[in-house]
Amino acid sequence: MKLFPKIIPVFPLSGVIYFPKTNLPLNIFEQRYLDLVNDTYKKDKFMGMVQSYPRFLINL
């Protein structure tokens, strides 16, 4: 069994609910995220996706 890497790149999303074993088409245009996805694809293909916290709630 292949072990999971200790560190994985993280792709931030906002306003998205993603369910396991489903497809999520992404329109990736920022160079830093293109690099992240391309590097991930070339390596072990593990990438985390996180729901970013709304900025307006930070100071509440």
Encoded tokens for 44: 């072990």
Residue 7 lies in a domain: yes
4 within a domain of the structure (yes/no)? yes
Domain annotation covers residue 19 = no
Mean pLDDT of the chain: 82
Place of tokens 């489903």: 22
Q: Give the mean pLDDT of 41-49.
A: 85
Total domains in the fold of the chain:
1
- Does residue 3 lie within any of the structural domains? yes
Contact 37, 11 (CB under 8 A): yes
Instruction: List, in sequence order, every residue forming a beta bridge with 12; answer none if it has no partner.
Output: 50
Q: Does the predicted TM-score (pTM) go above 0.75?
A: no
Is residue 35 in a domain?
yes
Whole-number Å distance between alpha carbons of 52 and 60: 16
In DSSP terms, 49 is beta-bridged to 11
* Domain enclosing residue 47, as ranges: 1-14+24-60
**Could you tell me if residue 34 is inside a domain?**
yes
Give the long-range contacts of residues 23-28, CB within 8 A, separation 24 or more.
none
